[in-house]
């Protein structure tokens, strides 16, 4: 607990009023940070006990400010298991958010589309998640200060927020797609066989983040809402190779819609 408290005390010294909403910006979606006003930016490397992001295209800063006049904290750059952190480290910031008083977490990510009705560039509201192939981030002694040992996962993503988001999506993107996000550990993209298996299991999109963060958020009672940018169709669907370059390029193409959706969402829930 001491580590957590040291981190919180450092942040509270830099920021007087702590927002109740936090957002994690996924691969290629970091430019939302430019729209934040009245910013206080803290680099991860300056925050005691904070991990440091290693993925190209992920910046590594915590931004406090307002978006569409709504106070929020943005994590520009997140931590992934494939970078070599253990799962507890990847979700360290979520527990810090809890201790700072955050009540709502907006999770965003880039993912491969598994649902054959999806296209590259679509935005999907996350309705539920799958994570059969990874250990639970809550494995080990329970941190009773945050939540109970056994956690109900019936509503990882808050229904009320999903309903708020649907008409916003429709208005801005012309579509309202919802689906199940499947978590894979990475850093390899999946094989075509894995994608076929995930489809049979009910997945609509696949990515390498978000699930550990959502689990830790739910453990401590933070409400979640998730938006996925379908940056590519998953392996084997088209006869094309997957690359991080492509993922980033697609994310860039949809960033205006993405930003608009987030701005309206925070206005509604803020």
Per-residue contact string for residues 58-87; x = within reach of ligand HPA by CB under 6 A: ------------------------------
Which 217-256 positions form the footprint of ligand HPA (CB under 6 A)? 231-232, 234, 242, 247
Active-site annotation holds for 58: yes
Do 123 and 173 meet the contact criterion of CB atoms below 8 Å apart? yes
Active-site annotation holds for 110: yes
Q: Does 122 bind ligand HPA (CB under 6 A)?
A: no
Do 82 and 36 meet the contact criterion of CB atoms below 8 Å apart? no
Active-site annotation holds for 82: yes
Active-site annotation holds for 27: yes
| Residue of 157, 183, 189, 258 that binds ligand HPA (CB under 6 A) | 189
CA-nearest of 202, 223, 205 to 213 is: 223
Q: How far is the CB of 248 from ligand HPA (least distance, A)?
A: 9
CA-nearest of 68, 64, 84, 87 to 16 is: 64
DSSP letters for 140-204? SS--TTT--SS---TTSB-HHHHHHHHHHHHHHHS--EEEEEEE---SSPPPHHHHHHHHHHT-S
Q: Does 24 bind ligand HPA (CB under 6 A)?
A: no
Stretch that binds ligand HPA, among 9-17, 37-45, 57-65, 200-208 (CB under 6 A): 200-208
Q: How many Cβ atoms are within 10 Å of 242's Cβ, its own excluded?
A: 18
| Closer residue to ligand HPA in complex, CB, 211/242 | 242
Q: Does 125 bind ligand HPA (CB under 6 A)?
A: no
Q: Does 25 bind ligand HPA (CB under 6 A)?
A: no
Q: How far is the CB of 114 from ligand HPA (least distance, A)?
A: 9
Q: Which residues pair with residue 52 across a beta bridge? A: none
d(CA 57, CA 168): 27
Max CA pair span of the chain: 53
Q: Looking at 22, 75, 83, 184, which residue is catalytic?
A: 83
- CA angle 135/137/149 to nearest 5° reads 110
Active-site annotation holds for 80: yes
| Closer residue to ligand HPA in complex, CB, 91/209 | 209
* Catalytic center residues: 27, 58, 80, 82-83, 110, 208-209, 232, 244
Which residues sit at the interface with ligand HPA, rule CB under 6 A? 110-112, 184, 189-190, 206-208, 231-232, 234, 242, 247
């Amino acid at each position: 607990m001491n580590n957590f408290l040291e981190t919180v005390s450092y942040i509270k010294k830099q920021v007087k009023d702590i927002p109740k909403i936090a957002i994690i910006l996924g691969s290629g979606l970091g430019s939302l940070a430019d729209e934040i006003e009245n910013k206080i930016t803290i680099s991860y490397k300056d925050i005691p006990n904070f991990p440091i992001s290693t993925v190209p295209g992920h910046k590594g800063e915590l931004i406090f400010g307002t978006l569409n006049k709504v106070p929020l904290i943005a994590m520009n750059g997140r931590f992934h298991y494939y970078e070599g952190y253990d799962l507890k480290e990847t979700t360290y910031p979520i527990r810090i958010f809890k201790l700072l008083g955050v009540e709502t977490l907006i999770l965003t990510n880039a993912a491969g589309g598994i649902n054959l009705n999806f296209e590259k560039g679509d935005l999907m509201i996350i309705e539920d998640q799958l994570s059969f192939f990874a250990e639970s981030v809550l494995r080990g002694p329970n941190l009773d200060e945050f939540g109970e040992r056994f956690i109900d996962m019936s509503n990882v993503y808050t229904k009320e927020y999903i309903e708020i988001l649907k008409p916003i999506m429709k208005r801005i993107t012309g579509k309202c797609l919802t689906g199940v996000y499947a978590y894979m550990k990475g850093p390899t993209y999946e094989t075509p066989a894995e994608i076929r298996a995930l489809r049979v299991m009910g997945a609509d999109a696949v990515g390498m983040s978000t699930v550990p963060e959502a689990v830790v958020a739910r453990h401590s009672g933070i409400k979640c809402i998730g938006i996925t940018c379908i940056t590519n169709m998953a392996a084997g669907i088209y006869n094309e190779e997957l690359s991080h370059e492509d993922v980033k390029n697609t994310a860039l193409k949809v960033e205006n819609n993405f930003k608009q959706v987030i701005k309206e969402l925070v206005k509604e829930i803020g």
